[in-house]
Amino acid sequence: VEFLYCDLASMKSIRQFVQQFREKNCPLHVLVNNAGVMLVPERKTEDGFEEHFGLNYLGHFLLTNLLLDTLKQSGTHSHNARIITVSSATHYVGKLHLNDLQSRCSYSPHGAYAQSKLALVLFTYRLQHLLTANGSHVTANVVDPGVVNTELYKHVFWVVKVVKWMTAWLFFKTPEEGASTTIYAAVSPEMEGAGGCYLYNEERTKSADVAYDEELQRRLWTESCKMVGISDEASRLP
């Protein structure tokens, strides 16, 4: 196991990481987008993005796009490279505000978090569409890990922390249990060649209706490219 440093809240760090990884000339068979913050107070990343949107979504958007060529080169007809992005059931109540993705008009920790998780689902579906259109041997799926007992909840109200402490053993998954669907998406033979799926408890399920809006997927993709400073070649595809 070898570790390379990457701060998903920093576009500079992401680009440096990708450069370091490419210099190793290694194949890339599985990419898991799993970093995240939840319910943080209003604050910005070093690039000026609202933290939920910047770290949870834009960081993964840029990282995935910069690694796509390597993923495409690593996948084969019989063994596709796989991209797994971790979202949340919170996306079901999320609303994507294309005119205010940074939540400048009205900031709500819950709203910003839910928006970032919805954006990840929209991104995954659009990405799979583009991969299929290009005939790439790469699949993209999105995972809901469930309610997992981790430090992700450190910014919730103190009463919720107490309730969590008292009931986690009964209602929360362990980190190992929470990772099971991500691992399933990454290595299961049943998922070979399958993309554009929303997975929960190792089963394909339906995401929020709005996530299937192809026009919204396209618009978010285009806006995301502008925000992170990469070419939107996908805009020329249907």
The catalytic site residues sit at 113
Hey, which residues does 81 pair with through a beta bridge? 138
Separation of alpha carbons 107 and 41, rounded Å: 9
H or E element in which residue 117 lies? helix 109-133
Distance CA 154, CA 149 (A): 11
Closest CA to 218 of 133, 136, 91: 133
Query: Any idea what the Cα angle at residue 207 is, between residues 228 and 14, rounded to 5°?
Result: 20
Q: Give the 3-state secondary structure of residue 22.
A: helix
Measure the CA–CA gap between 91 and 194, rounded to whole angstroms.
Answer: 22
What is the distance between the terminal CA atoms of the chain, rounded to a whole angstrom?
A: 40
The span from the CA of 58 to the CA of 9, in Å, is: 8
Half-sphere exposure in the Cβ direction for 236 (13 Å, CA): 4
Q: Partners of 227 in the beta sheet? A: none
